[in-house]
Structures are given as C-alpha cells and as structure tokens.
Amino acid sequence: MSEFTFDRHRRLRSSVSMRALVQETHLRVTDFIYPIFVIEGEDIRNEVPSMPGVYQLSFDHLLEEVEEAYQLGIRSLILFGVVEEKDEIGSEAFHDHGIIQEATRIVKQAYPEMLVVADTCLCEYTSHGHCGVIENGDVSNDASLELLAKTAVSQAKAGADIIAPSNMMDGFVTVIRHALDEAGFHHIPIMSYAVKYASAYYGPFRDAADSTPQFGDRKTYQMNPANRLEAIREAKSDIKEGADFLIVKPSLSYMDIMREVRDNFDVPVVAYNVSGEYAMIKAAALNGWIDEKKLVTETLLSMKRAGADLIITYFAKDVAKWLQEEK
C-alpha cells in the first residue's frame, strides 16, 4: 500500500491502555446528582413500577438511601416530595415543615457535606397537577411566581444548598433570586430548568411523584420539542435574571440543544437523564436485549460529550458502583 497516502487513525486505538490515554470524555462520580423521592408515612419503600430500582421512601428509610449514595462517593442529591394532602395552590410546597423541607433537614443533619438540591415547583402539591395557580382554566404566570418564591425561601431556610426551579414560568429566576437575596440567602445558587421541553419522556416520573396534570397538558409553559432557537432565548433570559446553572431536560433526544447551550453560555450545564430514558434502558435490560452497563455508560458519556458538566440521573448509584469496580 506504499503508493497510497492516508491517515493512520487506528494507531491511537491499538490497546486498552492507548485508548484510555487519549480518551477525551470521562464520567466521574462527582458528575452525578441523584434523585430521591420522599413520601409521607412510615416504613414505606415503594418501588416505582415503571422505574425498576427507584423507590418512594418515607423519612425512616431516607437515610439508608443517602448513606448508600454517600459511601459510593455521590455528593449531590435532588429531592422530590410525594404527599397525600394537596390543594389548589400547592401550599405544601412552601410550608416551612413541608416534606422536602423536613427531608432536607434530615439529610443535612446526618450528612452536612452532601449537597441538597431542592426541586422548586408546585405540581407535586397541587390538586390539579399543574406547576402554578389556575386562573380561567390556565396557569397564571405572575400569580404563580409569588408562590414559587415562597417555596424557594422555605427550602433555603431548611438548609437546601441549591434551588432548582422547574416550573417554566416566565421570570421565575429573577423573582426567586430577588426573594432569596431579600431573605439573606445571597450565597444560595439557582440551578434553573432553563430549557425544559413538553416531553413524553416524563411519564414514569409522574408515576413516581404523583404529579400528572388532572386536565390538559403543560404545553403552554413547557417548550415545543420542535424548537431550537427558543432554547437559546430561554437560557439567555435565565442567565440575565441570575441563573448559576442551566438544565437541559430531557437529554437523550436533545443533544443538539445541549451543545448549543454549552457553546453559548459559560455557566455549568446540567443534563437531566429523565425517567423515560431510564425506563427504556431498564426495560430492555430486564428483557436481556441489551448490556445495561455498556449502554448506560455510553448514554451518559454522550451527554457529557454533548456539553453537560453534570448529570441528574437515576443511574447514579449503578454507575458509581461500576466506577469503583473499575478502580
């Protein structure tokens, strides 16, 4: 072949050690934010049917889960609440002794080094399942902002390290930033669900959090999956209003959006590896159709390669175990 000129790319793939030497993207346990669902009651450990391996946990089982995550090297959690008593305005969300507030206190008292991210929304606590106050059959943007601000301050008072508003109301970052600052929480960052699409991938989460809308859908406030430029507008507004992190949700079908956000903004970008993405892999693995470890690793690597600095993922414990085994 001496008469031909071509590049020898395979030289850098010749062995395990060579491939490791030149690998560009890596997964670290500190990349992961682990979601936990906390439910009211005692001695409850309910596996979510559509999310094998994910549980709703009562307070008396919460620290067992946190302990396992901590021992695996995970240092960030995001908490979601599951409550029985709901009302039109989701008042449990901003009650100073609400389920997330109490869960946060429990975690921080036992594990002060564990970062607690508080999901700041109303949908898990409203009787109608929407992310804000209903007026004239629709979610009222401005009326909802006041309650979201109260929720954020209540969560910060309970010890949350990061406030993560997921409601997609216009102006939610600036209103929450102002409320946190007024309450003396200048040091608490906001991890904004800046780019959140109205996606079919959320179905299993709504089973886990009991947050399915009781009428209509969320398309008047979550984004159209067909739109790309809108994502940049949303992220730009949140940065201007004071966001410290930008979440892209979902991740798997939105790698192009994640790269756009990464290229346009210099704050940490967070991929949310959502419930539907998790459930698809779990279902295929349970049927023996795929190699779960290889596929999960490839999927999460692709999110980081697309521009994510951090990943919210239900696979956090699994991957942490695999990383330990490799060491």
197 labeled binding residue: no
218 labeled binding residue: yes
Angle, in degrees to the nearest 10, between helices 292-305 and 255-264: 30
131 labeled binding residue: yes
Q: What is the DSSP string of 251-318?
A: -TT-HHHHHHHHHH--S-EEEEE-HHHHHHHHHHHHTTSS-HHHHHHHHHHHHHHTT-SEEEETTHHH
CA dist., res. 241 & res. 239, Å (int): 5
275 labeled binding residue: yes
Question: On the CB side of 171, how many CA atoms lie within 13 Å of its CA?
Answer: 12
Does residue 196 carry a catalytic annotation?
yes
From the list 86, 249, 282, 317, the catalytic residue is 249
From the list 86, 150, 196, 317, the catalytic residue is 196
241 labeled binding residue: no
121 labeled binding residue: yes
φ, ψ (nearest 5 deg) of residue 224: -75, 120
251 CB burial (10 A radius; 0-12, 13-18, 19+): buried
φ, ψ (nearest 5 deg) of residue 202: -90, -5
154 labeled binding residue: no
314 labeled binding residue: yes
Q: What's the DSSP call for residue 327?
A: -
**Which whole-number Å values give the CA distances from 289 to 103, 200, 313, 321, in the listed order?**
38, 23, 22, 22
Does residue 282 carry a catalytic annotation?
no
Q: Which residues are annotated as a binding site?
A: 121, 123, 131, 206, 218, 234, 275, 314
Q: Which residues are annotated as a binding site for Mg(2+)?
A: 234
Catalytic residue ranges: 196, 249
Q: Which residues are annotated as a binding site for 5-aminolevulinate?
A: 206, 218, 275, 314
Q: Which residues are annotated as a binding site for Zn(2+)?
A: 121, 123, 131
